[in-house]
Chains A and B, each alone.
Chain A
Amino acid sequence: MATPATSGLKYLSNALATAEQLSNSSSAIDGVSPDLEASIRFAGAQLTQTAGILLRLSQDIIAQAIVTFTRFWIGSEGGSLRIHSVKDVSAAALYMTAKLSFQPTSPRSVLNVYTFLLSKEASPLWFVNPNGSPDKPTPETYHLTEGGYQAQRQVLLRTESIILRTLGFNTHVALPHTIALTYLQTMGVSSSAVAKRVFEHLNSALLSPQLLYATHQPNALAVAAIYLSAREVGVKLVDSDWWEVFDVDREDLGFLVVGMGSMEGFARAEVEKWKGRGVPMTADELDGEMERRRMMQEGE
């Protein structure tokens, strides 16, 4: 029996990955190297974020979709990048999260947006279209044919069911954003610059290779973002171990602050690493990339 205290907390907390799940992934078992997996997951999360913006979904829905997308790949019983294309899981996670929200969207809208974002000629995304998008891409380069739509829709709905099965139908995602605002008010921080920076850190952390949203509770993410933002903006917070009031210990705070602080460097390194090439967005493209790496190794 859950006490009132813990049942109320459930609403503010998330299911977290176990140590066993973190030490093993289905993709790793299928031979995908950890750095390649991290690159693809990072690109997939960015794809989800961009698609959500084009679908005019609010950021809380997009953020929940990215967390669901991230959870899907974790653990030996999670999904494998060799079997499920990252673009399909991204689309299905976004479609399913929107369906449960106050802003549902149609399969056709989702697939139109993904066709555009995955077009090698028209896409504005650096990891799909490394040459950069033309000012006015020709509509033919991102047109979804009726036949293509029917086929894609089948894949979308099938992937949705696979995500649900893999996560045991646990679609609940609590977000740190509103918690962070409450904490800022509690501490009497009135600087909107800090609040803005907090949201920026929380949204970037969604893309973190350290899977911060799957390893830490929202209150800890909120506290770390506040700590980091206040330092960056130069706002002085209360002079004590205030994070303990919000149930975060020093060790977790330190880890999260380093993790969030390293996001910018990681993102830049990724862009540099994939310069002039696309990150594999499908299982087939991944097979090609793994083959290329194998050949390079043999050549050395």
Chain B
Amino acid sequence: MASKSRWATDDDPETEAILAQRKREKDEKRRAKAEKQRQLDEQQAQAQAQAQAQQQPDPDHPPKKRRRLSNDQDQEKEKPSQTPPATSKNNEPTILSFPTQEWGPCRNVANFERLNHIEEGSYGFVSRAKDITTGEIVALKKLKMDNSPDGFPVTGLREIQTLLEARHQNVVELREVVMGDKLDEVYLVMPFLEHDLKTLLDDMSEPFLPSEIKTILLQVLSGLDFLHDQWIMHRDLKTSNLLLNNRGEVKIADFGMARYYGDPPPKLTQLVVTLWYRSPELLLGAEKYGTEIDMWSIGCIFGELLTKEPLLQGKNEVDQVSKIFTLTGPPTPQTWPEFRSLPNAKSLRLPPTPSTASSTSSPPLLPRTKFPFLTNAGLHLLSSLLALNPTSRLSTKACLAHRYFREDPRPKPKEMFPTFPSKAGMEKRRRRETPEAPKRGQEAPKLDFASVFGGEQGEQGEQGAGFTLRLG
């Protein structure tokens, strides 16, 4: 025995026998263990195969569309059937089942007990109510039927149509539509949320913390991202249309202005979006516009969250434009080449363009002094949302990926969000002097923007902010 050790030679055969015996025992143990492991593996494989077979009809997991060709299957059968369940799975087609939807007539509003009045929006009255059968608290929104010569208001129809299709955790859920005894009594049933951001900001002594602003903004953006993906424009984003519950969840509400859009964009009314949140291209009379108008509103909401006050509180369309240009600086041929061709831009006399204007495609940064507590990334995001040129405004996807949301302080987890006493819960609200969303059917005003930059201010454009503003 070549492998014998030095000391072993000294040992007697008896010891050798014992050693051999021990070795055999060890080997046997190892074999048993290996056998056990193999059995265990087999069991696991079977369990897994079963789980797979069970998972197969799950409608939430769309099956792979690729089908095996028939000769593929034959080859598999020739192979020793080590994993029989997998082969049998491929023999039957996996067919995706569609979500089951039905239709049925509206229930009567008598199924709900009205508790208290919440608010009068531009398109209806909202009240808090209790579902008599389930005891659930909901918000009931009565649609305004303005006895129009065109029948059921198209805004109300669009609101219902878009809300029924937009199911997302950051979009308010339309449970059902109920009717009163008369054909013109139509109510939307939605979950009740304790706050809207506007009322909340009014009552807070300090603005939200940066981490809380990020949480709110991220939720609004992901809701809006979903809407834009579904070809829906909201067209009336503002803090009073953003609802917040006591679990830190934000939901986009009030789809009275929402509608489907197409590519290329159809000709649409310019009378959308509440004045303070209305984008410059709408104010200047653009007939074709897209989802960028919602992004401008997001920028205004961002600014409002930071300062607790609406960012651009114009008294009328002309004043709104001048307030915008005061904040962002006037448009230049570099930052917004198409701006001159907009209908209302013709009456606008701009101050001489400063020759130092940068020719970069990214919009200029907003003045630092206006937002002293905002980080550089935050200021960049805000400036790209409030870019005058709609084509340089960020999309929802770009915003969601923005570095502002990844730097410290991180967005606060929803569970950690503070709670507030709910005004809508019991008390009647104060009416605030926010301008209302534009009424449908009005003529788009022909605006004269001649006074925006205070007429003949001529050559003294070099000092100060580049131009001066004459108000009133």
Contact = CB atoms under 8 A, between A and B. Distances in A.
Contacts of B7: none
Nearest to A252: B95
A171 B157 contact: yes
Nearest to B96: A247
B100 interface: yes
Interface of A: 1-3, 5-7, 9-11, 13-18, 21, 71, 75, 77, 95-96, 99-100, 102, 104, 106-107, 153, 156-158, 160-162, 164-172, 217, 240-241, 244-245, 247-249
Interface in B78-115: 93, 95-106
Contacts of B154: 99-100, 104
Given A6-B60, A16-B102, A102 B183 contact: no
Given A100-B157, A171-B160, 15 more contacts: A9-B98, A9-B99, A11-B165, A13-B99, A16-B102, A71-B103, A100-B154, A106-B150, A153-B149, A161-B151, A166-B105, A168-B106, A217-B98, A240-B67, A245-B65
B373 interface: no
Contacts of B59: 6
A204 B61 CA distance: 34
B161 interface: yes
A168 B98 contact: no
B149 A107 contact: yes
Given A13-B98, A165-B105, A172-B164, A95 B183 contact: no
Interface band, chain B: 35 or more
Q: Is the interface of B mostly helix, strand, loop or mixed?
A: loop
28 contacts: A3-B60, A5-B61, A6-B60, A9-B98, A11-B165, A13-B98, A16-B100, A17-B102, A77-B104, A96-B157, A99-B151, A100-B157, A100-B161, A158-B183, A160-B151, A165-B179, A165-B183, A166-B105, A168-B103, A168-B104, A168-B177, A169-B157, A171-B157, A172-B161, A240-B69, A241-B93, A244-B93, A245-B65
Contact of A2 (B69, B99, B105, B161): B99
B105 A161 contact: no
Nearest to A77: B105
Contact of A15 (B103, B158, B161, B262): B103
B266 interface: yes
B183 A161 contact: yes
Contacts of A156: 151
Contacts of B67: 240-241, 244-245
B169 interface: yes
B119 interface: no
Contacts of A3: 60
